[in-house]
Amino acid sequence: MKKISLFFLLITIISSCGTKQEQISPSQEKITESVYASGIIKSKNQYQVFSTVNGLIEEIIAKEGDLIKKNDPILRIQNISSKLNAANAKLAADLASFNSNGDKLNELKANIDFAKTKLKTDSSLFERQKNLWSQQIGTQNEFEQRELAYKNSLTNYKTAILRYNDSKKQLDFSAQQAKNNLEISTSFEGDFIIKSETDGRLYDILKEKGEMLTPQSPIAVIGDANDFIIELQVDEYDITKIKLGQKIILSLDSYKGQTFEAVVTKISTIMNERTRSFLITAEFTIKPTTVFPNLSVEANIVIRSKDNALTIPRNYLVDDSYVLNEKNEKIKVSVGLMDYKKAEILDGLKPSDIILKPLK
């Protein structure tokens, strides 16, 4: 047992002697400070399609991936009741139309003509009797009878005109009201055909034929076919560093080992309380050959950079403020810019110095 213990002790000593601590010298190179963010790619003008009415999907007209134009139909919703309402409204409109009520107005107009003719006759007889009576010919009773007949005819004539005008106004009102109801019913029919609001691509249809639709549930996703944006979430601690026009370096899981570039185009002015982050919008300046909505991205938003900085790997730092010299002694350094791999050394090291990598 004693020999075995000595053997393992010897092996341990040999192994430890063979472990050599990594060492480097600082190097002069470009370093960039950036803010990390993650997010997704979206089609420009991407939006979810909703229905304004309830109903069953009767027919899906377009297909996922189709290029579509504004007002192109996507699907049709069953609308039996709407069609019946529109048909009833049309019947009411036809019934209330001027043509349908022409006979009634013609009858009232004939009454006016009759009253006018009678008024003319009674007026003539009254004037004659009036002249005779002025010459003391005839009786007062005959004169008063002619006068009364004339006044009655005048009243009847005016009444006939009023009745005609009132009836025509009421018929016009009813006809216009019926026409408006028909237009409303017809416009509702249009709500049962879901159409695209823009030119673009139909990326996704979220429902199937026969499913029940409500105004609260999305039906489809539409967006630009070739233009894309990037939506990134930036932590509240970093938001003050972000400015419009800053360069962004992007990496996508779909393009392993490749990087692409974008620029900040919009910064949200309100924080998401749930995620404690701000929404940043960016547009590609160098983009992948093929892009799809909702691809995930990781981004580094470039805050500032220096072309000729004295740098060391970040994993050579001890407590972010020290390095180890050749004697494994801690030396305080002043750190400037940092990215996820390197750190700039402002003071405490020279290019000729040798430093050791801390052992874990």
- State phi, psi for 355 to the nearest 5 degrees: -125, 155
Question: What pLDDT sits at residue 134?
Answer: 83
Give the other-Cβ count within 10 Å of 117's Cβ: 12
- pLDDT of 219 strictly over 80: yes
pLDDT at residue 278, rounded to an integer? 96
Rounded-to-10 torsion of CA 155, 161, 167, 171: -170
> pLDDT band for position 88 (50/70/90)?
low
State CA 298 to chain mean position distance.
25
In the chain, the amino acid numbered 185 is S
CA angle 25-30-31, nearest 5°? 90
- Name the more confident of 118 and 9: 118
Supply 78's token pair: 């069953």
Tokens representing 216 are: 């609260």
Q: Summarize pLDDT for 238-293 with one digit per residue, the tens.
A: 999 999 999 999 999 989 889 999 999 999 999 999 999 999 999 999 999 999 99
Structure tokens at 319: 């407590």
pLDDT at 138 (0 to 100): 81
pLDDT (mean) for 10-23 = 58
Do 230 and 282 meet the contact criterion of CB atoms below 8 Å apart?
Answer: yes
- Which of 62, 311, 81, 89 has its CA nearest to residue 195? 62
Q: How far apart are CA 360 and CA 358, in angstroms?
A: 6
Q: Which of 342, 264, 336, 276 is nearest to 301 (CA)?
A: 264
pLDDT in tens, 122-138: 888 888 888 888 888 88
Contact (CB, 8 A) for 282 and 232: yes
